[in-house]
Amino acid sequence: DGGITQSPKYLFRKEGQNVTLSCEQNLNHDAMYWYRQDPGQGLRLIYYSQIVNDFQKGDIAEGYSVSREKKESFPLTVTSAQKNPTAFYLCASSLDARNSNQPQHFGDGTRLSIL
């Protein structure tokens, strides 16, 4: 089955620690996205990548970093500079970011909490 896999499902971060959230897709999609969702809120874009080895900041990139070394993978690192990291993180992909009339496909998220 094709889809997006996020891991882990739950993650705990200690003070001053960097943590990395995994996102893998086998849909052969070019574009991938990371969103943050706070309770009762919509999604806010952290970073996105339209093609391998390229990515752009979204609306709330401070305190986060990404890489896109492979088409299938788009890991997100939450750094110690992100002072309020507790949230639900969602990864998504779409077939071709150059064509705007495409839906996004989502993983089932990672819930990050501070210890």
Q: Residue 8: is the preceding peptide bond cis (ω within 30°)?
A: yes
Token couple for 37: 């969702």
Region near other proteins per CB under 8 A, out of 12-20, 44-52, 66-74, 79-87: 44-52
Q: Is 51 in the site for other proteins (CB under 8 A)?
A: no
Region near other proteins per CB under 8 A, out of 11-19, 34-42, 67-75, 78-86: 34-42
Angle at 37 between CA 5 and CA 15, to 5 degrees: 90
Count of CB atoms within 10 A of residue 56's CB? 11
Token couple for 114: 């501070």
Q: Is 106 in the site for other proteins (CB under 8 A)?
A: yes
Q: 13 vs 105, which CB is nearer to other proteins?
A: 105
How near is the Cβ of 106 to other proteins at its closest, in Å? 4
Distance CA 67, CA 112 (A): 19
For other proteins, the binding residues (CB under 8 A) are 4, 6, 31, 33, 35, 40-45, 48, 50, 58-59, 90, 92, 94, 96-109, 111
